[in-house]
Chains A and B, each alone.
Chain A
Amino acid sequence: MSEAILKLEGIARDFYDGRELRRVLKKTDLEIYPAEFTVIAGPSGSGKTTLMTIIGLVLQPSEGTIYIGDKKVAAYSDTELANLRMRNFGFVFQQAELIPALSVVENLLIAAGVQGGSISSVLREKSLALLEGFGLKQYSHVKAQKLSTGQKQRVAIGRSLINDPKVLLCDEPTSALDSESSTIVLDTLKRLSKDSSRGVVMVTHDPRVFPYADRLIKLEDGGITYDSRNSTEGGTQ
């Protein structure tokens, strides 16, 4: 068994809702492994997004510690967190969230050049190769807004891969798609999770995703209630 790429220890998060502090994510320990398609499932409001954004260093936990590899992420500045995000994580959101002003290939390149610096021809070729892999090469120079929802989401996956992330974090990436597009996206994510240097984490409330999971985690009311890794039966219900 391989080493965890990512480790959460006693992570919890509180939010103010109106007038009181509410614990949205209970104390959680979690390890993410490479070459695994990890699905975190739970009803709406169960804290999936909260957990995922904490994993992705987008949201600060109220308590607990995160390790990337065996390096502790502690009291980092905003800039250092941004650098860590850029180096370690790829994000796919519910909507593709492409920059409409940019062409398809530029939407991939901006993820590589978001901290400035010029774009090498190697990167350019890499992004074209990624698009080709998703069957989108002929749209490379089309404005992103011209694509269909399903195509956009595949571009977004391409964008999340451009910096070779250790972990791909996907927050309900299929919820806005029709079943055909969502099958394509799920197949793609499944294929990407086979890479031995990369873990894929997907958050969903859709039980149809479960069969794709190598590891299934269930979240209810901000707490993990089931983890197929710790159960002897494996990832079925």
Chain B
Amino acid sequence: MQGMRRFLKRWCPMRSLAALKMLLHDRSTTAGSVLGVVAIVFLVGQQLSVLFGLFNYMSVLVDHSGADIWVCTQNIQNINGAGFMPVRYVDRISGLPDVEWVEPLVFGSASFRTREGQYQPVQVVGLRNPRQACGPWRFYQGAQDALFDYEGITLDRLDLNVLGSPQMNHFYEIGDIRTKVLGITQSIRGFAGTLVFTNMVKAKEILKTPAGRCKAILIKVKPDTDISAMIGVLQKMFPRNEVLTTADLSRRTRAYYIKNTGIGGSFGFSTLIGALVGIIIIMLTMYTSVLNRTKEFAVLRALGARKIDILIVVASQSLIIAAIGIFIGFLFLALFLAGTLDSVLPSYMPTWILFYHAGFTLIMAMLGSILAMRRAIKIEPATVFR
């Protein structure tokens, strides 16, 4: 404490020190402004995390495919809208140099029959070689071996309730086909419903896929291969199909859902509301605190403070408030994210967005204090004599 004091005395100019001390003096007003910043960080951050959580669901299969390149039907807008294409393309592609592996993929909707005889929609994913392409990547029970069993399927832990609490090693019907639960995945969910992984043969049986057809072909290239050149070669080979990178397909899929489901608008709106609530709190509290300090600012002006000095005092106050608020807000946000991890509520926060979010909040906090700043620099030194 003593050291801190000495440090402030030596390095903190009196003007900024006064700004800080004024804040500490009016704790309740300061707390109000900090609350505004916390509201922005938390409300906006929480919305963003749910949005990013949903983004992940939208393109979950693509993002975790392990492939570099996808061959799909023409004009694909969204992976779930893929049409059928010949499986024999797989053999033609595997003949190319630089190809590490090629795998076909089938997927589609089907009905899962619960123990009580109800039907629940599921997304069935059929894999030929789950260790290479699109294999489920996090298990709660069981392992990828489940997909080598003739009837084996996996369900996700988060969906067990909806599916009537199915149990390991028990038999259930999907699309009238008998299957056996041999694995429970951990937090692998799709946007269009529960993801059920199984082997290629069983999936085609359930989904009634026409013979010799699949929904997409996934390609992994050898290290140091020029992917765009490879895409060019493949596009020439299959002019009536679409060849694109995993990242492209992921982006297209997300964009499709954002545009066509209204999710973008809805999240945009609630994010805006969160930011607005925060900025209004900041505005009111900062403005009030300047009004309460009118006499003090007038005294400073009479003592020789220029308008810029008053501006610096109020601006440093909002910076301090923003810094404290951002710190507390991110603590809350971290608690929220930790609490919703592995829960049915989708939430995910990419690290890069945190920096933007902090910057955005800082800008909002400064915008919120513009009115207060304008008021403060208009205070006339003569006020102190009245």
Contact = CB atoms under 8 A, between A and B. Distances in A.
Interface stretch (A106-114, A183-191, A224-232): A106-114
Interface stretch (B14-22, B55-63, B157-165, B355-363): B14-22
Contact of A101 (B24, B300, B304, B312): B24
B304 A99 contact: no
B323 interface: no
Interface stretch (B205-213, B227-235, B377-385): B377-385
Interface of A: 49, 52-53, 56, 58-59, 78-79, 82-83, 85-87, 91, 93-94, 97, 99-102, 106, 109-119, 159, 163, 171
Interface of B is mostly: helix
Interface in B302-344: 302-309, 312
A68 to B, nearest CB: 14
B252 interface: no
A171 B382 CA distance: 12
A186 B301 CA distance: 26
B306 A82 contact: yes
Interface string B19-48: 001101110000000000000000000000
Contacts, number: 100
B18 A102 contact: yes
B10 interface: yes
Contacts of A110: 14-15, 18, 300, 303
A83 B13 CA distance: 18
B68 interface: no
Interface residues of B, number: 33
B296 interface: yes
B306 A78 contact: yes
B11 interface: yes
B308 A79 contact: yes
B191 to A, nearest CB: 54
Closest 8 CB pairs of A and B: A86-B304, A113-B14, A101-B25, A101-B21, A82-B306, A114-B305, A58-B381, A101-B22
A93 B298 CA distance: 12
Scoring B21, B25, B385 by chain A CB atoms within 10 A of each residue's CB, the highest score goes to: B385
A114 B14 contact: yes
Nearest to A88: B304
Contacts of A100: 25
